[in-house]
Amino acid sequence: MNLESKESMAYCGLNCAECQRRFADIRQKINDLNEAFEQVNVQEMVKMIPFMKGKYRGYKKFTTFFNEECPGCREKGGNPFCGIRKCATRKDYFTCAECESLCKKFDSLYKVHGDNEIQTSIEQIRSQGIDSFGDSN
Ligand code: SF4
Ligand code: SF4
């Protein structure tokens, strides 16, 4: 996927390319943290201290998840149960910008991404059209 093409625009108006850049930054920090743990021999430490085992397993699972490459919203990445994607595809919309106003389904998304980021992007698509997205980013 060309991450700067309009295909990187998710149904909700988030830009998957931007998300992948943020995740790349998180991955780097995870790698740094893993290196720091290796330096203190954390695996041996976990074997010695029983109550750490479950916590360490949880840490490994969560960080492994972050290390997996997301294919992007249009390739079924992100939340597999996303109601926004389901609704927009059912209406055959390229993005929710085609709806008159953003609905209640966005409330939980605002908590993570902030309403400004999403609304700015939706307004931009409405005023400039989705086809100019790849040129202007
Ligand atoms: S899965 Fe839903 S919330 Fe996530 S980027 Fe796609 S449309 Fe937006
Ligand atoms: S109702 Fe409109 S804004 Fe809400 S998810 Fe469906 S297409 Fe998007």
pLDDT tens figures, 100-109: 999 999 999 9
Determine the distance separating the centroid of ligand 1 and the alpha carbon of 20, expressed in angstroms.
13
Q: Indicate which residue's Cα is closest to atom 6 of ligand 2.
A: 87
Determine the distance separating the centroid of ligand 1 and the alpha carbon of 22, expressed in angstroms.
15
| Token code pair at residue 26 | 């998180």
Phi, psi of 119 (to 5 degrees): -65, -35
pLDDT tens digits along 3-61: 467 889 999 999 999 999 999 999 999 999 999 999 999 999 999 998 999 999 999 99
Q: Which ligand is nearest to the CA of 122?
A: 2
Indicate if the pLDDT at residue 66 is higher than 90.
Answer: no
The pLDDT value given to residue 117: 87
Report the C-alpha gap between 56 and 134 in whole angstroms: 42
With a 6 A CB cut-off, is 13 part of the ligand 1 pocket?
no
The CA angle 113-119-123, to the nearest 5 degrees, is 145
With a 6 A CB cut-off, is 12 part of the ligand 1 pocket?
yes
- In this prediction the pTM is 0.85
End-to-end Cα separation, the chain, in angstroms: 15
Mean pLDDT of 76-84: 94
Which residue, chain included where needed, has tokens 């991404």?
113
